[in-house]
Each structure stands twice: as C-alpha cells, then as structure tokens.
Amino acid sequence: MPAYSARRRSTWVLALGLAGLIVGADFWIARTLRVRAQEEFDAVLLARANTLRALTENEAGRIQLDYGPGRLPEFERADAPEHFELWLDDGRVLYRSPRLTADLPVEPCRLDTPLLRDVELPDGSPGRLLQVAYVPQATQDPDEAAVPAIAPSGEMCPSLVLVVARSRAPLDAMLASTQWTIFGIGGLAIVLAGLLVWRVLARGFRPIDAMAAQVAELDAERLGTRLPADAVPREVAPIVEQLNALLARLEDSFLRERRFAGNVAHELRTPIAELRSLAQVGARCADDPDSLHAFFGDVGDIAGRMGGVVTNLMLLARCQAGVEPAAHAGVDLETAVAGVWSRLRGAAAQRGLRWRLDVDREVVADADPGKLESVLTNLLDNAVSYALPGTEVACRVSSNGFRFELEVSNAAAPLSAEELERLAEPFWRRDAARAGDSHAGLGLSLARALAELQGMQLELRQRADGVFHALLTGRLAAGAVRAARRQARPYPGSRSAS
C-alpha cells in the first residue's frame, strides 16, 4: 500500500492554506473596519467638542457658553443622548448637558491635546469619551446677549476642561454584526474553497486515474497497448512516455521469449524426430550388426548436436543471469586470433575466402582466455559461414588509450535494419536451410553474452557497401602496451586461404 495519497495530501494542504488565508483576511477586514469605525466615531466626538469650544467665549473675563435649547439636539434627545460637561480649571462645573445625571470622569490632560478613552456612562452603558483642556477665545462685544455663566475672579482668563461622551452600544452592535457577517462569509468561503479544491484536484487527477485504470488492464496479451500522451497534463507526459517505452521493451522481450521458446522447440524437434526414426529402423534391423553400428553412430551424432545446443543454452543463461564466473588475465589478441583462424582455415578454403590480419602493435587484452577464445571463434566462424564466396575476411586489432578494438569484417548479403537488430537474438538465422546442422543460431548471442560478461562490448553493423562489421572493444591488460606507437601495418604472416 502507498504511504500516502498525493491527492488527499494536496487537497488538505490547499484547503488548509486557503482556509488560513481566508481567516487571516477575515481578521484583517474585521480589524480594519473596527479601526475605521472607531476613527469615525472619534471624529464625531471631536466635531462635537469643536462645536462646543466654538460656543465658549471669554468676554471681559467672564466665561459664557452660547448654548440654548434645541441648538444641539443630540444632547437633548431621550433615546441614547450624548453628554457633555464643562469644568473650570479649579474643578467647578461650568455647564452640563440636560440629560446628564452625574459627573463624567475627568483625568489630568495637557492643554489643547484631546484625550480619548472608553468609559462607563452614568446610566451604566459603555461609552467613549473625549476630554480636552483649552482657553476660550476672548471677545470685545459687550452688547452680545449672554446665557447663564460663571465669572471667575481676577483678570486672568482660566482654562476650561470639556468632556464629551457618547454611548458606544450602537457602535459595538454594528461591529459585532459586521464581524459575524464577515466570519460567516469567510466560513462559507472556506467550504466553497474546499469544494473547489477537491473538484479541481479531482479533475486534474482524472487523467492519472484513467492512466492507472489502463495500466491495471495490461497483461502479457496486451503489451502492444500504449498510453495516450496527449490526454495527460504536461507534467505527467514524461512519465507516460517512459511507461510507453517500458511497454515497448516488455513487448519486445515477450516476443523474443516466445520466439525463443518456438526456436528451442524447432531445434529439438528435428533431432528428436531423427532419433525416433532411428529407433524404428533399429528395431527392424536388430539382427544386422552393420546396420546397428551405423544406427548407434547416427544416434551419437544427433545426441552430440542436442548436447551442444543445451550446453550453449545453459552457458547463455548463466551469462545473462551474471552467475557465470570470468577470470582476468592478459591475452595476446594477435596470437588468439591466429589460433582460432587456424582451425577455420579449411572451411574458408572450401568457400574460396582470403584472410587478412592487421595488427598495429602488440595488444594484450584483459580477458578470460577461454571465454575470449569462444567469442573469437563465434565471430570468425560467422564470417566464414556467411561471407560472400571468393571475398576476403579481415581482422583488425588496435589499441586506443586503455582500450582495444578488434574488428572482423566480411562482404555479406544486405541485411535490413530489423535483421541487424535480431542478429544477436538466440536461434535467429536469416537462412536456416543454408546454415545447416552446424549452426543453431546461438553463435552471435553467445558471443555478445560472453563479451559483456568480461566487460566488453560487441557491436554489429553493416555499411552501405555491404561489408559486415563485428566490432569488439574492451580493456587492455595492465602494462600491456609495451611497443612504441606506429602506424597500422599488415600482419607479416598474413596469407590467403583459397
């Protein structure tokens, strides 16, 4: 089981992230509205205070408040009235609004510096208060009608303390309602955002779900199916391409396995049929010693061919599984190639083939002597068997840095790209009838497997002129290059096999 669900984790992360943003935005909006509403509320208090200050006059040392009934109705209404109170600097009350039943709280303050604070009003309701100390402006109009006032003694005009208060219950109610509305809308937005995230992710993961369903339906009989790369998001397209490439490799592997099984059955069917025929003939010729002798000779040949196929198959399987041991020693390639060709010279002469070996210096490879001999035998035997009659089989040996190159080339019938790809496939033969019993189609497969087992690479290709090349590359033995570098030269002992 997977450790976690990417869809569920993405949904939770995005939903919680959006919820955090929405809640943060709600708090910011609520705080901003509270601050703005408080500022507007305080601005009204300041306007009331400025109005009352403007109505306060100092006329010849007498303080007057030009206030009469109905002039400032907000201080006289019965429902939620506002209040003000005016003190002299000695603590005596100069004037009090009509609806005020007790003194408003006063604190020491600086001159012309408004002081704002929350208080409890005389009726017990929450309120907000503005207090300011100021000196009233002097006037020179003695005929102006005056309202009741208190005249201080002396010629110096005293400072006054004005306190204006309003109930903040309507403000608090409005703020609470607004806050509930904001958070209610925020909660609804969180729910809608969660649904939107779930819907968007579900839609985004839909191609992946479809791809998973298609992959789940794949089996050995449907490896030819390919996932559509144009129906998935751009970020998932590389995964789809890799899956399609993997399916292509799996399909190719399964096809090779099926061809391998069929080829094995075909290779063993013929000798088994021959054994059955020989057994029937032997049963009828039990009294003929000469026939029995020939019969057992044929049985031995057939068993030898079958044993060779099985031995090569087992060796190929061990090489591909990486369990076949490989020794490491220095092998002189010139000597190894010459030794293998000496055993094939007769077969080459029968087909009119010429032989050339080019060695530019003494080259000693890091290899398993026996397994390298098998590789060279398969490569040269393949060249002798499939070279065009009367042409040349050439072998070039060289070194470059710390690696060697051994190339076997021969003129051959043209091969298609598909045939070149299948050359090293077990039991594949372009012309099985021409190959005869001596070739089971395992030579190049076994050569490549043995080469890779020793850390070498075998590359098979054909040029446009029809010359087939088998290029074997690998590591040189430590301290192997002892001769000075010189240009490639024909092997002095080269000779033609005709």
For residues 476 and 404, the answer to whether their CB atoms sit within 8 Å is yes
For residues 395 and 406, the answer to whether their CB atoms sit within 8 Å is yes
Mark the ranges of the chain whose per-residue pLDDT is less than 70.
1-4, 139-157, 256, 258-270, 275, 278-288, 290-293, 295-296, 298-299, 301-310, 312-313, 316, 319-322, 427-441, 479-498
* 305 lies in the same domain as 381: no
* 395 lies in the same domain as 452: yes
**How confident is the model at residue 485, as a pLDDT?**
40
Reported pTM: 0.49
For residues 302 and 274, the answer to whether their CB atoms sit within 8 Å is yes
* 335 lies in the same domain as 453: yes
| Residue-wise DSSP of 230-293 | GGS-TTTHHHHHHHHHHHHHHHHHHHHHHHHHHHHHHHHHHHHHHHHHHHHHHHHTTT-HHHHH
**How confident is the model at residue 232, as a pLDDT?**
74
CATH of residue 301's domain is 1.10.287.130
* 409 lies in the same domain as 468: yes
* 21 lies in the same domain as 157: yes
**How confident is the model at residue 495, as a pLDDT?**
45
- Within 10 A of 280 (CB to CB), how many other CB atoms are there? 10
Helix or strand holding residue 148 (H, E): none
* 450 lies in the same domain as 343: yes
Residues 6 or more apart from 359 whose CB is under 8 A from it? Answer: 333, 334, 396, 397, 398, 488, 489, 491
Residue whose tokens read 């080269």: 494
* 315 lies in the same domain as 333: no
**Per the domain annotation, does 488 fall within a domain?**
no
* 262 lies in the same domain as 351: no
Stated length of the chain: 498
Domain count, the chain: 3
**How confident is the model at residue 498, as a pLDDT?**
38
* 357 lies in the same domain as 457: yes
Range of the domain at 356: 329-475
**Per the domain annotation, does 249 fall within a domain?**
yes
CATH of residue 167's domain is 3.30.450
CATH of residue 442's domain is 3.30.565.10
* 307 lies in the same domain as 339: no
**Per the domain annotation, does 84 fall within a domain?**
yes
Going from the C-alpha of 226 to that of each of 236, 249, 253, 433, the distances in angstroms are 15, 12, 16, 37
* 250 lies in the same domain as 162: no
- Within 10 A of 65 (CB to CB), how many other CB atoms are there? 21
**Per the domain annotation, does 128 fall within a domain?**
yes
Q: Which of 316, 249, 264, 303 is nearest to 428 (CA)?
A: 264
Going from the C-alpha of 265 to that of each of 273, 383, 409, the distances in angstroms are 12, 27, 32
Q: Which amino acid belongs to residue 203?
A: R
Residues 6 or more apart from 158 whose CB is under 8 A from it? Answer: 63, 88, 89, 90, 135, 152
